């Protein structure tokens, strides 16, 4: 007796039983990988998830929406500003929890933990489907669970965890359904389009996911060309609906999109020259810990070439494996992931070249590309392990699989342990125990403040402060003067401080903030900035000042 599949291929009851046994063997291992990711993220966020400037904007915007103020920030003058720069999905998800009176920092922590587990399960399930449920197909999920790049990303209260789950989830739907489900009726095209569109509403750069999904439909759907175009159109229409709604809200309230401005041609040329070193530096951390990069000058050139060399080798292996097994489903997914990486980096470059303020090219921003690359690496090693290789090569591949997980794991445990001990961002011990923060909390309710760390003051004290405008200046200001005596009209908050209407709070991050403006003169500028000002309160990470008004001259 036999059972027929839809393709006409016959499988015996024994084969079905063997497949069921394989599933029973692989799914517990997938659960183990998910548990490792769960435990590491829980440990890493022991003192709370990392909260920085962007996270403060997300959390505060969600709280303001729950209060009926709107999705954005209240300014020092009492006016309202719609969510600046960022896509809206993450604070929209948090807002109902704020309405219930829950601590959004804790909500963000558990949301990240669950999303990391979800990503590991998604990667593992998809990889098992591609490798016929062989245990070595779980390598990508294992690499995800112990990635020293992804664990920090999931340890911060940011939008990347939602973006990765939605984006790769949408692409997985395309991959798993494109040959198995008809595209001529409502179904998987619309589901994948919605997932990919929601990813964009979490992070604008996630448009790369939707573009990749559209190209996969155009390239791989087994339909006449115009029907493929129609299928991609259906996916695209659904995909742009979420972000189109947000764009209309922005235009209606601010007449701009994301409050960014365009750069001049000369500024674009300069940005182009500094983009690639930043990209190279971020990718190098995928291979070596940051501490290992403090190498002698003789190794600097070699390390500079290492990221490009590694990616080229990985691409060559991808091509060779594809030629050896052209009909493998693994090859198709590897090709899709490479396509996504190229599109994603291209979108980052476009945004970086054209808009101000600039996006930061770091591991958080590159986390979608990192996820794709280690998924490619895991699938290629799994594929090499199962194809017909001589025994020594198969042993070498097995050791490479184990060695990769171990290398990632050792690095990740060190990172997680440090995060758990010191905390991240404004939830770090140094911020939480700051005497200066305690002094700010004791100030009268209506006291006006100006500071170089507005988001830290907002998150830790709930107070809205004016920013030090010089930090955001595009050009240096000479001669150096103490705060309160700068060029008239450059900073209204500075005039308020000089009139003794506000207090200046300077944290020890001032010099690093000035570094991008003044270079090697940043330390001098930071010193002059507070010279002669009177100290109201101080702590290990900064001080509070008032302007020394000479009342005798006012009489």
End-of-domain residue from the set 416, 445, 473? 416
* Residues in Cβ contact with 160 at an 8 Å cutoff, skipping those fewer than 6 apart: 153, 154, 203, 364, 367, 368
What residues are paired with 42 via a beta bridge? Answer: none
In a domain, 373, yes or no: yes
Instruction: Let me know whether 179 and 149 are in one domain.
Output: yes
pLDDT tens for each residue of 417-460? 999 999 999 999 999 999 999 999 999 988 999 999 999 999 99
Residue at which a domain ends, from 368, 389, 416: 416
Residue 403 and residue 319 share a domain:
yes
| Residues contacting residue 77 through CB under 8 Å, at least 6 positions apart | none
Domain for residue 387, yes or no? Answer: yes
Q: Are residues 392 and 501 in the same domain?
A: no
Kindly report the three-state secondary structure assignment for every residue of 278-336.
Answer: HHHHHHHHHHCCHHHHCCCHHHHHHHHHHHHHHHHHHHHHHHHHHHHCCCCHHHHHHHH
Q: Which stretch of DSSP H or E encloses residue 365?
A: none
Q: Which of 282, 274, 278, 284 is nearest to 305 (CA)?
A: 284
How many domains is the chain built from?
2
507 belongs to a structural domain? yes
Rounded distance between C-alpha atoms, residue 307 and residue 111, angstroms: 32
Do both 345 and 459 map to the same domain?
no
Q: pLDDT digit string (tens) for 152-172?
A: 999 999 999 999 999 999 999
Residue 424 forms part of a structural domain? no
CA atoms of 320 and 314, how far apart (whole Å): 10
Residues 498 and 398 in one domain: no
505 and 390 co-located in one domain:
no
> Residue 335 sits in which domain range?
25-416
Residue 507 token pair: 């944290």
- The CA distances from residue 79 to 72, 73, 259, 472, 509, in Å, are 11, 9, 16, 21, 28
Residue 269 lies inside a defined structural domain of this protein: yes
Are 336 and 445 contained in the same domain? no
**DSSP calls for 91-158:** HHHHHHHHHTT--HHHHHHHHHHHHHHHHHHHHHHHHHHHTTT-GGGGHHHHHHHT-TTHHHHTTBSS
pLDDT at 375: 97
Domain finish residue from 416, 446, 472: 416
H-run or E-run covering 72: strand 72-74
Q: Are both 451 and 314 inside the same structural domain? A: no
Digit-coded pLDDT (tens) for 3-51: 444 333 344 444 455 455 455 678 889 999 999 999 999 999 999 999 9
Same domain, 386 and 460: no
pLDDT at 255: 58
Does residue 315 sit in the same domain as residue 456? no
Q: Which of 399, 191, 374 has its CA nearest to residue 283? A: 374
Establish if 9 belongs to a structural domain.
Answer: no
Are residue 74 and residue 100 in the same domain, yes or no? yes
pLDDT in tens, 264-301: 788 888 889 999 889 998 999 998 887 766 655 556 66
pTM (2 d.p.)? 0.90
Whether the ω angle into residue 537 lies within 30 degrees of 0, i.e. cis, is: no
Q: How far, in whole angstroms, is CA 105 from its chain's centroid?
A: 17
Question: Do 460 and 412 belong together in one domain?
Answer: no
Please tell me the predicted confidence (pLDDT) of residue 550: 55
Average pLDDT (197-216) is: 97
Query: Given this model, what pLDDT does residue 178 score?
Result: 87
Residue 215 inside a domain? The answer is yes
Residues 353 and 279: their CA atoms lie apart, in Å, by 13
């Amino acid at each position: 007796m036999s059972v027929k599949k839809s393709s006409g291929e016959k499988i015996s009851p024994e084969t079905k039983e063997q497949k069921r046994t394989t599933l029973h063997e692989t799914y517990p291992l997938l659960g183990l990988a998910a548990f490792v990711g769960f435990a590491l993220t829980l440990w890493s966020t022991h003192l709370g998830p990392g909260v920085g400037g962007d996270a403060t904007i997300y959390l505060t915007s969600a709280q303001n929406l729950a209060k009926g103020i709107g999705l954005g920030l209240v300014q020092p003058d009492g006016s309202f500003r719609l969510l600046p720069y960022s896509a809206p999905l993450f604070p929209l998800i948090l807002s109902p929890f704020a309405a219930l009176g829950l601590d959004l920092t804790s909500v963000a922590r558990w949301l990240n933990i669950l999303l990391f587990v979800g990503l590991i399960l998604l990667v593992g399930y998809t990889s098992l489907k591609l490798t016929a449920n062989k245990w070595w197909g779980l390598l990508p999920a294992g690499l995800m669970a112990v990635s020293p790049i992804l664990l920090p990303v999931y340890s911060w209260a940011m939008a990347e965890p939602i973006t990765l789950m939605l984006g790769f989830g949408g692409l997985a739907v395309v991959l798993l359904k494109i040959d198995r489900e008809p595209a001529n009726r409502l179904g998987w095209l619309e589901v994948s389009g919605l997932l990919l569109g929601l990813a964009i509403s979490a992070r604008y750069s996630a448009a790369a996911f939707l573009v990749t999904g559209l190209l996969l439909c155009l390239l791989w759907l087994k339909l006449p060309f115009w029907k493929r175009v129609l299928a991609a159109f259906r996916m695209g229409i659904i995909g742009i609906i979420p972000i189109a709604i947000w764009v209309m809200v922005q235009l209606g309230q601010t007449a701009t999109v994301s409050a960014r401005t365009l750069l001049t041609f000369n500024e674009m040329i300069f940005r182009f020259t500094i983009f690639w070193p930043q990209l190279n530096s971020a990718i190098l951390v995928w291979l070596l810990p940051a501490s290992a990069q403090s190498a002698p000058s003789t190794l600097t050139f070699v390390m500079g070439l290492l990221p490009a060399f590694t990616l080229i080798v990985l691409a060559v292996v991808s091509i060779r494996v594809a030629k050896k097994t052209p009909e493998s489903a693994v090859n198709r997914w590897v090709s899709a992931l490479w396509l996504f990486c190229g599109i994603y980096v291209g979108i980052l470059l476009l945004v970086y070249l054209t808009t101000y303020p600039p996006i930061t090219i770091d591991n958080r921003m590159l986390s979608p590309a990192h996820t794709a690359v280690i998924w490619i690496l895991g699938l290629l090693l799994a594929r090499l392990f199962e194809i017909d290789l001589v025994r020594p090569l198969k042993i070498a591949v097995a050791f490479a699989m184990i060695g990769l997980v171990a290398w990632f794991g050792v690095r990740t445990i060190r990172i997680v342990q440090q995060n758990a001990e010191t905390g991240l961002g404004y939830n770090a011990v140094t911020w939480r125990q700051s005497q200066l923060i305690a002094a700010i909390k004791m100030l009268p309710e209506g006291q006006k403040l100006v500071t170089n760390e507005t988001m830290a003051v907002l998150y830790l004290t709930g107070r809205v402060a004016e920013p030090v405008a010089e930090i955001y200046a595009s050009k240096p200001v000479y001669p150096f003067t103490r705060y309160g005596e700068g060029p008239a009209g450059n900073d209204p908050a500075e005039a308020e401080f000089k009139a003794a209407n506000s207090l200046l709070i300077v944290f020890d991050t001032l010099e690093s903030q000035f570094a991008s403006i003044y270079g090697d003169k940043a330390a001098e500028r930071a010193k002059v900035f507070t010279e002669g000002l009177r100290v109201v309160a101080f702590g290990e990470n900064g001080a509070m000042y008032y302007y020394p008004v000479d009342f005798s001259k006012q009489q």
